[in-house]
Amino acid sequence: MRRLRFNGTGSGVNGCPSLHEDLDSGEVIVHGPPLTDPADIARLRRLGEGEVPIVVPRELLVGWGPKDMTRKAKTIGMNGFGRLFTQFEGTRRTEREVRQLTDNLTKSQAAARAAHLVPMS
């Protein structure tokens, strides 16, 4: 029997779709509504016998899926939990912040970035 840890859900109502992780193998188990449209299923590549395509919002995978192969979950206490809302160490820029930075570029800078001549920072 697998030792499963619930990682998160994309729904607060019925808990579906959701992500679990096998604590021993590191495999990720996803459950959610199946993809049922025959035309959509026909377009999938390499769908094996007995496999079921599951519809999962991107946010579920980004927010709750493993970030890399060596990442270990870190359990924190209530003091550490409270700090999450006051200290933002090592956070990535949000999409909104990136859009704001891009909006402030000059036209030539924006054109150069669009042409991949200026590396994104």
Place of tokens 């150069």: 112
What does the alpha-carbon distance between residue 31 and residue 67 come to, in Å, rounded to a whole number?
19
In the predicted model, what is the mean pLDDT of residues 69-84?
A: 69
pLDDT at 39 over 90: yes
pLDDT at 53 over 90: yes
Reading across the β-sheet that carries 4-9, which strands appear in turn? 4-9, 18-22, 28-31
Domain count, the chain: 2
Higher pLDDT, 14 or 119: 14
Same domain, yes or no: 56 and 91: no
Higher pLDDT, 68 or 56: 56
DSSP-derived secondary structure for 42-85 = HH-SS--TT---B---HHHHHHHS-SSTT-------HHHHHHTT
Per-residue pLDDT at 80: 73
C-beta separation of 41 from 48 below 8 A: no
100, burial (CB in 10 Å: exposed 0-12, middle 13-18, buried 19+): exposed
Residue 121 domain boundaries? 76-121
pLDDT at 120 over 50: no
Same domain, yes or no: 62 and 84: no
Same domain, yes or no: 92 and 65: no
Same domain, yes or no: 14 and 33: yes
DSSP-derived secondary structure for 96-117 = HHHHHHHHTS-HHHHHHHHTT-
Mean pLDDT of the chain: 75
Give which of 54, 44, 53, 63 is closest to 17, Cα–Cα: 54
Taking the CB of residue 77, how many other CB atoms lie within 10 A of it? 7
Same domain, yes or no: 69 and 10: yes
**What is the percent of the chain with per-residue pLDDT over 70, rounded to a whole number?**
56
